[in-house]
Amino acid sequence: MQFYTRYLLTGLFASLVFLSACKKNEIPKEPVASVRMSLDSIILANDDFLGTRLSIILDNFPEGTSNSAEWRVDNPRIAEVTAEGVVWPKGAGITYVFGKLLNGKGEAKCKIIVTDGNDYKFRLVLTDKGKSDYSIGNPEAFLSKKAIERRRKQHIPIDVSDLPISREYLKAITEVGGTIVAKSKWLNTVCVNVRDQFLIDKYKALPFVKEVALVYFGKRKQNLNVPKYIDSPQSGSAGNLGTSIDYGAAALNINTVKGEALHQQGFKGAGMDIAVIDAGFIHLRDNAAFSNVHIKGAKSFVYENEDPYSIDTHGVWVTSCMAVSKPGSYVGTAPEANYWLLRTEDSATEFPVEEDYWTSAIEFADSAGVDLVNSSLTYSDGYSSLIKRYTATDMDGKTALATKAANMAFKKGIFIVNCAGNEQKWVGTPADSPSVLTTGSINSDGKQNYFTSWGMTADGRIKPDVMAMGGNAAVINSSGTTENRSGTSYASPIMCGLVACLWEANPQLTNKDLMEIIRKSADRASHPELPFGYGIADMKKAMELAKIKVGAR
């Protein structure tokens, strides 16, 4: 038994030695060639818009083998990849990027995860407004008495363009997702703010949506629990200014276009409602210089900030040119008028959605019954490079959204004054409108300011229409003190306030009559020329022309 065990062990040992010797003599296997991506996965933030470069790594390939690859992405709506392998985020989601060797010997992939902290705004252009919830026969349900009266005085019929977009359409749009931030009953548009940019597919699928355009994108604003803005009017009164006014610092603003001729006859804008569409009116109601201004209301149309008094001094400077009534210190061109302060400009960005806000604001102004609108805002080719910009050929008086809205507002009997812009080139929207009194800037010596935009519109009209004081114009700042500023932004309200006074003096006139009269009053009316247009306005002459116009009826 012992001998048998020893024999087995000896034999087993011999077998193991033999097997071990065979393994030592095996031919080693060649390493397997493989390709892999430099990164297995990437997380990109769409709101930061930062790209990441990928490359192909070759394992166990002969020395000198090229890793040049052809790149492609599985879902180009989520990300894109350049010919050099740089991956850029496009939309929230997950996709894969593939790199295939040009020699055809392998392919690798990388997982791409895109997060998105952006908000997006889309403009939906509707085929129609749907079945209205209102009736033309009952305009009091959607227009103020003053709006109806303005139409009546100028023999303007109330028609289907005045009817709001149907609730059914708005409900269907809301159910897709996002928030409605602007809408136009005149132009059949609705603007929505969304977090998911791919909702665009669902909006396009709605049977009443004709087209969808991206009009804004930007980092999502964090909710800082800002208290809700509650508007309240300010029942100020300019008091009895008399007919001999000490304009203080504002004297040149008014005298340059002979506006004092209107005031000396007792016309200072009483009973006229003026809407100021601008960038914001920071602390205007707390500003002592505005304490006796009659403000009917204020509203912000900018989605991210609903308080018109919380931001931007531009609207303060602009409004002061018309509204302030502090004899001996500063008196504007229409100190007895009533004012609506409407914010549409998002000064932090420059996107086409501001035209949607502008359109909503002027429709609101129409419904509230305003007589005149001053807009010291223009839009040309300054939009974000990622959004289609306007060119001079778009400025034909009928193409841009804000221009279309201005044309409609004029048809409803509103008189609109808009600055020409400070870009030293063709005027933008809505200043290109034939229905807008576009105002350029001069100094007190009557010379055109270098910054004024001017030119022929694409359809052959001269712009600006007239000129007024905009170089070193006197304004009231957010501290309530006087300062001098330059820009067509100030020429515009100086003119707007005086047109209000002229209309007060001649209530029989239509807005079309006023447009003709103001142009004819200017010093180059007989031979309009660039960059002056019809020339420097003359309100004394305008009074004479208005008297003739009224007498001829």
Structure confidence by residue, pLDDT tens digits, 472-489: 999 999 999 999 999 999
What is the distance of C-alpha 406 from the center of its chain? 15
Note the pLDDT of residue 104.
Answer: 87
Position 100 scores a pLDDT of 95
Summarised one tens digit per residue, pLDDT across range 222-240 is: 765 678 899 999 998 877 8
pLDDT tens track for 167-201: 999 999 999 999 999 999 999 999 999 999 999 99
For the stretch 85-128, pLDDT in tens is 999 999 999 999 999 999 888 999 999 999 999 999 999 999 99
Q: What angle do CA 94, 99, 105 make, to 5 degrees?
A: 140
Task: Mention every residue, 6+ apart, whose C-beta is less than 8 A from residue 64.
Answer: none
Kindly state the average pLDDT of the residues 30-46.
91
pLDDT on residue 386 = 66
Rg (CA), the chain: 34
Tens of pLDDT, residue by residue over 497-523, are: 999 999 999 999 999 999 999 999 999
Tell me, what DSSP letter sits at residue 482?
A: E
In this predicted model, what pLDDT tens digit does every residue of 393-412 receive, in sequence order? 999 999 999 999 999 999 99
The mean predicted confidence, pLDDT, of the chain is: 92
Cα 169 from Cα 150, distance rounded (Å): 30
For 316-339, give the secondary structure using H, E and C. Answer: HHHHHHHHCEECCCEECCCCCCEE
For residue 316, list its beta bridge partners. none
- Residue 242, phi-psi category: left (phi > 0), alpha (psi -120 to 50), beta (remainder): left
Per residue in 533-550, pLDDT (tens digit) is 999 999 999 999 999 999
Model confidence at 30, pLDDT cuts 50, 70, 90, reads confident
**CA dist list (Å): 262 to 380, 473, 511, 541:** 35, 20, 18, 10
In three-state secondary structure terms, 534 is coil
pLDDT band at 50 (very low <50, low <70, confident <90, very high): confident
Tens-place pLDDT, residues 415-433: 999 999 999 999 999 999 9
Spatial CA neighbour of 94 closest among 53, 37, 44, 50: 44
- Closest-CA residue to 53 (of 35, 69, 74): 69
Percentage of the chain exceeding pLDDT 90? 85
Give every CB contact of residue 389 below 8 A, 6+ residues apart in sequence: 380, 381, 382, 383
* All domains in the chain, ordered by first residue: 34-115 (2.60.40.1080), 118-219 (no CATH), 234-551 (3.40.50.200)
Residue 223 is predicted with a pLDDT of: 67
Stated as kind and residue range, the H or E segment containing 19 is helix 2-24
| pLDDT beyond 80 at 355 | yes
Helix residue ranges, H only, 236-352:
251-255, 260-264, 314-323
Q: Which residue has the tokens 């040049």?
A: 68
Q: What do you get for the CA distance between the two ends of the chain, in Å?
A: 143
Classify strands 294-300 and 234-235 as parallel, antiparallel or unpaired. antiparallel
pLDDT of residue 49: 74
